[in-house]
Chain A
């Protein structure tokens, strides 16, 4: 690569990063503008009042709590389902495997609104079939949001666990069985410990995917709000910069999480490096 092109590509990276960040910074800036509309121009002076308004906004807190409840429920369902599915699909082969795999990854590709609508219709007609139309569990509500979200989030967990299970040596289970371990022990003490990193990542992805989710939730939620739906309805209904205050807090939370992750990653990498150096020195000393 010539010098000129390399400078150009560095420049492109910088421009791209600015393009990604600038809108978010403008949105954050508007949280401090003393103007009734969310904007940075004209600047009417610095204020904290939108943060005060945010903390007084009960609907927002209610929506926030709903988002958390749904996300925990989704993770609690999607992780066991996804893990079980990965174990099942790993034990079959050939055409059965291809068909199962197709059905399992299809929900990832299906549009959110189709998942949402089909979930509502299915449970509603189930209710019809047993004569309980519109009663509790069969009418739209957050529980249907959970089921709708699980239908595709379980697929993410399945893919993660399946990738991890490939590197598992089945002979370990044989050994455990030969040595008299019970079936439960084989699962709990041999297979699951190997899968924990993937299960942990799956749980995190399930949680955050659920918090993020808009399309499925919008169609299944009934009259309840989650945070993304609340933000949406506020944006549509004409808004005050309270939303900007909320956005800024969420972004700060994200950045802090990202930084903690990065610092931990670097520390582990450094530790790993130190151990390898140590091992090499020990090896050299022995020779």
Chain B
């Protein structure tokens, strides 16, 4: 701090500190405090705000668990509220998306970092990045076209004689969430690829050769040499993909069916359609908690620091 004053003088230092303080206070900390506070308040008409009914309670949170209905999860009958079910489904299928993305991205990341010719690399990366620059809304929409009943996928399958009639993909085949999972993978797989690629790139190729020379089979080289080195990248990719998937509102709205409720859709319904901002705040708090738990878990499992994940 003293150093700043000496170099830039009181005026400029003041400006720097004020800008930083405005950002952290008015845009980051206070909004979250507000979210926390509002989540305990009731939803009231304007005239009654600040009146005797305006007291703190856990009603918004019990609404999340309340109104239990008979339903089923993975075919097992359960007795929970629909919103809680949506929450559990979202967590489970986001983990599935993350695992699929890892399985798809890791071999390619290794290929790009260690196998591909350095000369063709910029062109390859450019090609890989074009879809990333196309808005997420449009990428989801592209799959909407592919998956519609009379769409190209069904036409092709019927044309090849693989199925007799078109399949309603958006309703799901194995589970209600098939289409959502497939499209989330498409949208976010590159967020897994990039950090792993960067991490593997910094691995000395001699280490891989040494492992091979010493007779390690290829899978052991990956498990014991490449993956441990790429750990920060893997953690970063998993966090990104999980958070983006679990927080996606676009994809489930575009390609999902009415029987598959994604948790952000439940939040949006509370906030927008029911205009119940307080319950929306409580649901957001639950969601935020999930994200914090997930990040903490990843940091623990992969033994990495926050600065490794947020890059």
| Chain A residues in the interface with B (C-beta under 8 A) | 1, 5-6, 9, 12-13, 16-17, 19-21, 23-24, 26-27, 30, 37-42, 80-81, 84-85, 87-89, 91-92, 100-115, 117-122, 124-125, 128, 133, 147-148, 150-151, 154-155, 159, 170, 173, 177, 182-184, 186-187, 208, 211-212, 214-215, 218-219, 227-228, 231-232, 235-236, 243-244, 247, 250-251, 254-255, 257-258, 261-262, 265-266
Known: A118-B34, A212-B136, A255-B130. A23 touches B291 (CB 8 A): no
Tell me which residues across on chain A come within 8 A of B76, comparing CB atoms.
none
Known: A40-B145, A113-B268, A254-B133. A23 touches B186 (CB 8 A): yes
Known: A17-B127, A41-B155, A105-B306. A27 touches B133 (CB 8 A): no
- Taking the closest CB of chain A, its distance from the CB of B2, in whole angstroms, is 9
Kindly identify which residue among A9, A121, A159, A261 contacts B38, using a CB–CB cutoff of 8 Å. A121
Tell me which residues across on chain A come within 8 A of B239, comparing CB atoms.
109
Say whether B257 faces chain A, with CB atoms less than 8 Å apart.
no
CA distance A112 to B287 in the complex (A): 11
Question: Would A24 and B139 count as touching, CB distance under 8 A?
Answer: yes
Question: Would B141 and A109 count as touching, CB distance under 8 A?
Answer: no
- Taking the closest CB of chain A, its distance from the CB of B35, in whole angstroms, is 4
**Subset of 12 A-B contacts with CB under 8 Å:** A6-B115, A23-B145, A41-B151, A88-B4, A107-B27, A119-B31, A121-B35, A122-B31, A150-B23, A159-B310, A232-B250, A251-B130
- Taking the closest CB of chain A, its distance from the CB of B137, in whole angstroms, is 4
- Taking the closest CB of chain A, its distance from the CB of B284, in whole angstroms, is 5
> Told that A20-B186, A26-B142, A258-B130 touch, could you supply 18 new A-B pairs with CB distance under 8 A?
A1-B115, A13-B124, A39-B150, A39-B152, A40-B145, A41-B155, A100-B24, A111-B243, A111-B291, A113-B247, A113-B287, A114-B247, A117-B284, A183-B11, A212-B135, A235-B137, A250-B134, A251-B130
Question: Would B1 and A250 count as touching, CB distance under 8 A?
Answer: no
Kindly identify which residue among A115, A117, A208, A236 contacts B271, using a CB–CB cutoff of 8 Å. A117
Question: Would A109 and B243 count as touching, CB distance under 8 A?
Answer: yes
- Taking the closest CB of chain B, its distance from the CB of A282, in whole angstroms, is 27
- Taking the closest CB of chain A, its distance from the CB of B73, in whole angstroms, is 23
- Taking the closest CB of chain A, its distance from the CB of B44, in whole angstroms, is 12
CA distance A212 to B244 in the complex (A): 14
Q: 8 Å CB contacts to A: which residues of B1-15?
A: 1, 3-4, 6-9, 11-12, 15
CA distance A78 to B142 in the complex (A): 32
List 3 tightest A-B contacts by C-beta distance, closest first. A183-B9, A111-B247, A118-B31
Tell me which residues across on chain A come within 8 A of B235, comparing CB atoms.
none
Tell me which residues across on chain B come within 8 A of A112, comparing CB atoms.
247
- Taking the closest CB of chain A, its distance from the CB of B248, in whole angstroms, is 8
The number of chain B residues with a CB under 8 A from chain A is 94
Kindly identify which residue among B116, B124, B129 contacts A258, using a CB–CB cutoff of 8 Å. B129
CA distance A261 to B127 in the complex (A): 13
Question: Would B151 and A39 count as touching, CB distance under 8 A?
Answer: yes
CA distance A251 to B209 in the complex (A): 41
Say whether B77 faces chain A, with CB atoms less than 8 Å apart.
no
- Mostly, the B contact residues are helix
Tell me which residues across on chain B come within 8 A of A115, comparing CB atoms.
31
Known: A84-B19, A228-B135. A26 touches B146 (CB 8 A): yes
- Taking the closest CB of chain A, its distance from the CB of B98, in whole angstroms, is 15
CA distance A50 to B134 in the complex (A): 20
Instruction: Type the 1/0 row for B66-110, where 1 means its CB is closer than 8 Å to any CB of A.
Output: 000000000000000000000000000000000000001001100
Question: Would A103 and B111 count as touching, CB distance under 8 A?
Answer: no
Known: A12-B107, A81-B22, A110-B288. A184 touches B141 (CB 8 A): no
Tell me which residues across on chain A come within 8 A of B272, comparing CB atoms.
219
Question: Would B133 and A208 count as touching, CB distance under 8 A?
Answer: yes
Question: Would B291 and A110 count as touching, CB distance under 8 A?
Answer: yes
Instruction: Type the 1/0 row for B278-291, where 1 means its CB is closer than 8 Å to any CB of A.
Output: 00110010011001
Say whether B128 faces chain A, with CB atoms less than 8 Å apart.
yes
Question: Would A80 and B29 count as touching, CB distance under 8 A?
Answer: no
Complex: chain A residue closest to B15, CB-CB: A84
- Taking the closest CB of chain B, its distance from the CB of A213, in whole angstroms, is 9
- Taking the closest CB of chain B, its distance from the CB of A153, in whole angstroms, is 10
